[in-house]
Amino acid sequence: MVKCGAGAAILLIACGFATVRFGSGLQMPATTTRDGTLITLSRYLREPVPDVVLVGSSITFRLKEEYFATAGLRNLALAGGSPVTGLEIVANQSQLPKFILVEANVLTRPTDAALVERYSRGDTEPLFFRPVRAAVAAYEQRLHASVTHEQVVLNLRKLTEQPPSDFDNRVYADRALQQFNAEDPADAARINAKRIEELIRMVEHRGARVLLFELPYSEPIEGSRYAATTREIVHAAFPDTKRWLPVEVNRSELRWADGVHLDERSAVIVTQAMERTLALVRTVK
Protein backbone atom coordinates (compact mmCIF):
# COMPACT_ATOMS: atom_id res chain seq x y z
CA MET A 1 0.00 0.00 0.00
CA VAL A 2 2.83 2.36 0.92
CA LYS A 3 4.64 1.55 -2.33
CA CYS A 4 1.49 2.18 -4.36
CA GLY A 5 0.95 5.50 -2.62
CA ALA A 6 4.55 6.51 -3.19
CA GLY A 7 4.32 5.54 -6.85
CA ALA A 8 1.17 7.60 -7.31
CA ALA A 9 2.78 10.57 -5.58
CA ILE A 10 5.84 10.34 -7.84
CA LEU A 11 3.61 10.20 -10.91
CA LEU A 12 1.66 13.26 -9.81
CA ILE A 13 4.88 15.15 -9.10
CA ALA A 14 6.14 14.20 -12.56
CA CYS A 15 2.94 15.58 -14.06
CA GLY A 16 3.50 18.78 -12.13
CA PHE A 17 6.95 19.09 -13.66
CA ALA A 18 5.41 18.31 -17.07
CA THR A 19 3.07 21.25 -16.58
CA VAL A 20 6.02 23.54 -15.99
CA ARG A 21 8.10 21.99 -18.78
CA PHE A 22 5.49 21.87 -21.55
CA GLY A 23 2.81 24.33 -20.45
CA SER A 24 -0.08 24.46 -22.91
CA GLY A 25 2.15 23.08 -25.66
CA LEU A 26 1.58 19.49 -24.53
CA GLN A 27 -1.55 18.35 -26.34
CA MET A 28 -3.68 15.91 -24.36
CA PRO A 29 -4.67 12.86 -26.44
CA ALA A 30 -8.37 12.46 -27.17
CA THR A 31 -9.89 9.22 -25.91
CA THR A 32 -13.40 9.91 -27.22
CA THR A 33 -15.00 12.17 -29.81
CA ARG A 34 -16.24 14.30 -26.92
CA ASP A 35 -12.64 14.61 -25.69
CA GLY A 36 -11.60 15.76 -29.14
CA THR A 37 -14.27 18.45 -29.05
CA LEU A 38 -13.15 19.72 -25.65
CA ILE A 39 -9.50 19.76 -26.71
CA THR A 40 -10.35 21.74 -29.85
CA LEU A 41 -12.35 24.31 -27.91
CA SER A 42 -9.72 24.57 -25.17
CA ARG A 43 -7.03 25.18 -27.76
CA TYR A 44 -9.15 27.88 -29.38
CA LEU A 45 -9.32 29.76 -26.08
CA ARG A 46 -5.59 29.34 -25.36
CA GLU A 47 -4.14 30.32 -28.71
CA PRO A 48 -4.15 33.64 -30.61
CA VAL A 49 -7.43 34.36 -32.36
CA PRO A 50 -7.31 32.85 -35.88
CA ASP A 51 -8.32 34.69 -39.04
CA VAL A 52 -10.89 32.06 -40.04
CA VAL A 53 -13.10 29.79 -37.94
CA LEU A 54 -15.47 27.05 -39.09
CA VAL A 55 -18.43 25.97 -36.98
CA GLY A 56 -20.71 23.10 -37.81
CA SER A 57 -21.74 19.52 -37.16
CA SER A 58 -20.04 16.19 -37.78
CA ILE A 59 -20.28 16.91 -41.51
CA THR A 60 -17.86 19.83 -41.19
CA PHE A 61 -15.89 17.99 -38.50
CA ARG A 62 -14.58 15.81 -41.37
CA LEU A 63 -12.80 18.83 -42.89
CA LYS A 64 -9.58 18.51 -40.93
CA GLU A 65 -7.52 21.62 -40.34
CA GLU A 66 -4.49 20.10 -42.07
CA TYR A 67 -6.52 19.90 -45.29
CA PHE A 68 -6.54 23.70 -45.42
CA ALA A 69 -3.60 25.68 -46.76
CA THR A 70 -5.01 28.82 -45.15
CA ALA A 71 -2.83 29.91 -42.26
CA GLY A 72 -4.66 30.90 -39.10
CA LEU A 73 -7.72 28.68 -39.54
CA ARG A 74 -9.51 26.66 -36.88
CA ASN A 75 -12.29 24.11 -37.29
CA LEU A 76 -14.59 24.19 -34.25
CA ALA A 77 -17.21 21.87 -35.76
CA LEU A 78 -18.69 19.55 -33.15
CA ALA A 79 -19.25 15.90 -33.99
CA GLY A 80 -22.84 15.18 -33.01
CA GLY A 81 -23.40 18.85 -32.26
CA SER A 82 -24.93 21.99 -33.68
CA PRO A 83 -23.23 24.81 -35.60
CA VAL A 84 -25.08 27.19 -33.31
CA THR A 85 -23.09 25.92 -30.32
CA GLY A 86 -19.79 26.78 -31.96
CA LEU A 87 -21.08 30.14 -33.15
CA GLU A 88 -22.31 31.00 -29.65
CA ILE A 89 -18.90 30.19 -28.16
CA VAL A 90 -17.04 32.25 -30.76
CA ALA A 91 -19.47 35.16 -30.35
CA ASN A 92 -18.94 35.18 -26.59
CA GLN A 93 -15.17 35.71 -26.80
CA SER A 94 -13.61 39.13 -26.28
CA GLN A 95 -11.86 38.93 -29.67
CA LEU A 96 -13.32 37.61 -32.90
CA PRO A 97 -11.83 36.09 -36.05
CA LYS A 98 -12.10 38.02 -39.29
CA PHE A 99 -14.25 35.34 -40.93
CA ILE A 100 -16.67 32.87 -39.36
CA LEU A 101 -17.92 30.12 -41.68
CA VAL A 102 -21.16 28.51 -40.54
CA GLU A 103 -22.36 25.16 -41.84
CA ALA A 104 -26.05 25.19 -42.79
CA ASN A 105 -26.63 21.46 -43.37
CA VAL A 106 -27.66 20.42 -39.86
CA LEU A 107 -29.93 22.85 -38.02
CA THR A 108 -32.08 20.52 -35.94
CA ARG A 109 -29.83 19.95 -32.97
CA PRO A 110 -30.19 22.12 -29.87
CA THR A 111 -27.43 24.37 -28.64
CA ASP A 112 -25.19 22.63 -26.09
CA ALA A 113 -25.74 25.09 -23.25
CA ALA A 114 -23.17 23.40 -21.00
CA LEU A 115 -20.42 23.78 -23.60
CA VAL A 116 -21.40 27.38 -24.32
CA GLU A 117 -21.31 28.26 -20.63
CA ARG A 118 -18.02 26.49 -19.99
CA TYR A 119 -16.13 27.94 -22.93
CA SER A 120 -17.67 31.38 -22.69
CA ARG A 121 -16.15 31.83 -19.25
CA GLY A 122 -12.71 30.81 -20.47
CA ASP A 123 -12.34 27.25 -19.14
CA THR A 124 -9.58 25.22 -20.76
CA GLU A 125 -7.68 22.10 -19.83
CA PRO A 126 -6.91 21.78 -16.10
CA LEU A 127 -3.58 23.32 -15.14
CA PHE A 128 -2.46 20.07 -13.53
CA PHE A 129 -2.35 17.33 -16.16
CA ARG A 130 -4.23 14.06 -15.83
CA PRO A 131 -1.39 11.64 -15.03
CA VAL A 132 -1.91 8.85 -17.57
CA ARG A 133 -2.94 11.14 -20.44
CA ALA A 134 -0.03 13.46 -19.68
CA ALA A 135 2.41 10.57 -19.84
CA VAL A 136 0.95 9.39 -23.14
CA ALA A 137 1.04 12.91 -24.58
CA ALA A 138 4.66 13.45 -23.57
CA TYR A 139 5.65 10.06 -25.00
CA GLU A 140 3.88 10.73 -28.30
CA GLN A 141 5.43 14.18 -28.58
CA ARG A 142 8.89 12.72 -28.04
CA LEU A 143 8.37 9.71 -30.33
CA HIS A 144 6.67 11.36 -33.30
CA ALA A 145 8.07 14.50 -34.87
CA SER A 146 5.56 16.96 -36.27
CA VAL A 147 4.81 16.54 -39.96
CA THR A 148 6.10 19.46 -42.00
CA HIS A 149 3.83 21.58 -44.18
CA GLU A 150 5.61 20.24 -47.27
CA GLN A 151 4.88 16.66 -46.22
CA VAL A 152 1.22 17.48 -45.63
CA VAL A 153 0.92 19.09 -49.07
CA LEU A 154 2.57 16.08 -50.70
CA ASN A 155 0.30 13.62 -48.89
CA LEU A 156 -2.83 15.55 -49.84
CA ARG A 157 -1.74 15.75 -53.47
CA LYS A 158 -1.19 12.00 -53.57
CA LEU A 159 -4.60 11.46 -52.02
CA THR A 160 -6.48 13.65 -54.49
CA GLU A 161 -4.65 12.10 -57.44
CA GLN A 162 -6.08 8.71 -56.54
CA PRO A 163 -9.35 7.62 -58.19
CA PRO A 164 -12.56 7.94 -56.17
CA SER A 165 -13.22 5.14 -53.71
CA ASP A 166 -15.24 2.12 -54.89
CA PHE A 167 -16.39 1.30 -51.35
CA ASP A 168 -19.94 -0.09 -51.37
CA ASN A 169 -21.79 2.10 -48.88
CA ARG A 170 -25.33 1.09 -49.84
CA VAL A 171 -26.23 -0.40 -46.47
CA TYR A 172 -25.19 2.77 -44.63
CA ALA A 173 -26.56 5.13 -47.28
CA ASP A 174 -29.96 3.41 -47.31
CA ARG A 175 -30.16 3.63 -43.54
CA ALA A 176 -29.23 7.33 -43.61
CA LEU A 177 -31.82 8.01 -46.32
CA GLN A 178 -34.55 6.39 -44.23
CA GLN A 179 -33.61 8.58 -41.28
CA PHE A 180 -33.47 11.73 -43.40
CA ASN A 181 -36.91 11.03 -44.85
CA ALA A 182 -38.42 10.20 -41.47
CA GLU A 183 -37.38 13.40 -39.70
CA ASP A 184 -39.18 16.71 -40.13
CA PRO A 185 -36.59 19.42 -39.37
CA ALA A 186 -38.86 22.41 -39.95
CA ASP A 187 -39.51 23.71 -36.42
CA ALA A 188 -35.98 23.21 -35.10
CA ALA A 189 -34.41 24.58 -38.29
CA ARG A 190 -36.46 27.78 -38.06
CA ILE A 191 -35.48 28.30 -34.43
CA ASN A 192 -31.78 27.75 -35.15
CA ALA A 193 -31.85 29.89 -38.30
CA LYS A 194 -33.31 32.73 -36.25
CA ARG A 195 -30.63 32.35 -33.59
CA ILE A 196 -27.90 32.29 -36.24
CA GLU A 197 -29.33 35.52 -37.66
CA GLU A 198 -29.17 37.13 -34.20
CA LEU A 199 -25.60 35.98 -33.65
CA ILE A 200 -24.55 37.22 -37.09
CA ARG A 201 -25.78 40.69 -36.22
CA MET A 202 -23.86 40.58 -32.95
CA VAL A 203 -20.50 39.50 -34.36
CA GLU A 204 -20.67 41.59 -37.53
CA HIS A 205 -21.41 44.65 -35.41
CA ARG A 206 -18.05 43.90 -33.77
CA GLY A 207 -16.19 43.63 -37.09
CA ALA A 208 -16.29 39.95 -38.02
CA ARG A 209 -17.81 38.66 -41.25
CA VAL A 210 -20.04 35.59 -41.33
CA LEU A 211 -20.56 33.35 -44.35
CA LEU A 212 -22.85 30.36 -44.52
CA PHE A 213 -21.97 27.25 -46.48
CA GLU A 214 -23.55 23.94 -47.42
CA LEU A 215 -21.52 20.79 -47.86
CA PRO A 216 -22.67 18.39 -50.58
CA TYR A 217 -24.61 15.25 -49.77
CA SER A 218 -25.00 12.27 -52.07
CA GLU A 219 -27.84 12.76 -54.58
CA PRO A 220 -30.41 10.60 -52.74
CA ILE A 221 -29.75 12.46 -49.48
CA GLU A 222 -29.92 15.84 -51.27
CA GLY A 223 -33.50 14.99 -52.25
CA SER A 224 -34.54 13.74 -48.82
CA ARG A 225 -37.18 15.42 -46.69
CA TYR A 226 -34.64 16.56 -44.10
CA ALA A 227 -32.16 18.07 -46.56
CA ALA A 228 -34.75 19.72 -48.80
CA THR A 229 -36.71 21.24 -45.91
CA THR A 230 -33.61 22.54 -44.16
CA ARG A 231 -32.31 24.04 -47.39
CA GLU A 232 -35.62 25.79 -48.07
CA ILE A 233 -35.79 27.27 -44.56
CA VAL A 234 -32.20 28.46 -44.34
CA HIS A 235 -32.21 30.04 -47.80
CA ALA A 236 -35.48 31.80 -47.00
CA ALA A 237 -33.86 33.16 -43.84
CA PHE A 238 -30.68 34.19 -45.69
CA PRO A 239 -31.64 34.96 -49.31
CA ASP A 240 -28.69 37.26 -50.05
CA THR A 241 -26.18 35.32 -52.17
CA LYS A 242 -23.37 37.42 -50.68
CA ARG A 243 -24.09 35.74 -47.35
CA TRP A 244 -23.05 32.37 -48.80
CA LEU A 245 -19.70 30.75 -49.54
CA PRO A 246 -20.27 28.62 -52.65
CA VAL A 247 -18.69 25.16 -52.65
CA GLU A 248 -18.15 24.42 -56.33
CA VAL A 249 -16.89 20.90 -56.97
CA ASN A 250 -17.23 18.15 -59.54
CA ARG A 251 -19.69 15.92 -57.72
CA SER A 252 -18.64 12.89 -59.74
CA GLU A 253 -15.33 13.03 -57.85
CA LEU A 254 -17.00 12.87 -54.44
CA ARG A 255 -17.80 9.84 -52.31
CA TRP A 256 -19.52 9.51 -48.95
CA ALA A 257 -19.08 6.99 -46.17
CA ASP A 258 -22.85 6.91 -45.66
CA GLY A 259 -24.31 9.37 -48.14
CA VAL A 260 -23.95 12.17 -45.58
CA HIS A 261 -20.32 12.34 -44.44
CA LEU A 262 -17.59 12.83 -47.04
CA ASP A 263 -14.79 10.30 -47.21
CA GLU A 264 -11.24 11.56 -46.70
CA ARG A 265 -10.37 12.21 -50.36
CA SER A 266 -13.66 14.00 -50.95
CA ALA A 267 -13.21 16.09 -47.82
CA VAL A 268 -9.87 17.30 -49.17
CA ILE A 269 -11.43 18.17 -52.54
CA VAL A 270 -14.25 20.10 -50.88
CA THR A 271 -11.81 21.87 -48.57
CA GLN A 272 -9.74 23.03 -51.53
CA ALA A 273 -12.87 24.31 -53.28
CA MET A 274 -13.87 26.27 -50.17
CA GLU A 275 -10.40 27.79 -49.95
CA ARG A 276 -10.51 28.97 -53.55
CA THR A 277 -13.78 30.77 -52.97
CA LEU A 278 -12.69 32.14 -49.60
CA ALA A 279 -9.52 33.54 -51.17
CA LEU A 280 -11.66 35.52 -53.61
CA VAL A 281 -13.93 36.76 -50.82
CA ARG A 282 -10.96 37.91 -48.75
CA THR A 283 -9.67 40.08 -51.61
CA VAL A 284 -12.95 42.03 -51.70
CA LYS A 285 -12.95 44.85 -49.19
- Domain limits of the chain? 49-120+147-283
Q: Which of 18, 25, 78 is nearest to 47 (CA)?
A: 25
CA dihedral of 134, 139, 141, 143, whole degrees rounded to 10: -170
Of the candidates 131, 79, 108, which has an alpha carbon nearest to the alpha carbon of residue 191? Answer: 108
Question: Residue 122: CA atoms inside 13 Å, Cβ hemisphere, count?
Answer: 3
Q: Could you confirm whether domain 49-120+147-283 is CATH 3.40.50.1110?
A: yes
- Counting residues of the chain whose pLDDT is more than 90, the rounded percentage is 72
Residue 137: the pLDDT is 46
- The predicted-structure confidence for 102-148, as pLDDT tens digits, reads as follows 999 999 999 999 999 999 876 555 544 455 555 544 444 455 556 78
How many CB atoms neighbour CB 39 within 10 A?
A: 16
Amino acid making up residue 284: V
Angle at 247 between CA 199 and CA 38, to 5 degrees: 50
What does the pLDDT read at residue 135? 52
Q: Which residues contact 159 (CB under 8 A, 6 or more apart)?
A: 264, 265, 268
222 within 8 A of 216, measured Cβ to Cβ:
yes
Q: What is the C-alpha separation between 280 and 284, in angstroms, rounded?
A: 7
- Give the per-residue pLDDT at 21: 52
Give me the residues of the chain with pLDDT under 70, please.
Answer: 1-36, 122-146, 285
Distance from C-alpha of 52 to C-alpha of 241, rounded to nearest angstrom: 20
Element holding 100 (H helix, E strand): strand 99-103
Q: Please report the pLDDT score of residue 40 as a whole number.
A: 85
Angle separating helix axes 170-182 and 225-237, nearest 10 degrees: 60
Contacts of 237 (CB under 8 A, 6+ apart): 190, 193, 194, 196, 197
209-213 β-sheet, strand order: 73-75, 52-55, 99-103, 209-213
- For 218, residues 6+ apart whose C-beta sits below 8 A from its C-beta are 173, 256, 259, 260
CA pair distance 170, 265, nearest whole angstrom:
19
Q: Is 107 exposed, middle or buried (0-12, 13-18, 19+ CB in 10 A)?
A: buried
Nearest C-alpha neighbor of 57 from the set 80, 88, 86: 80
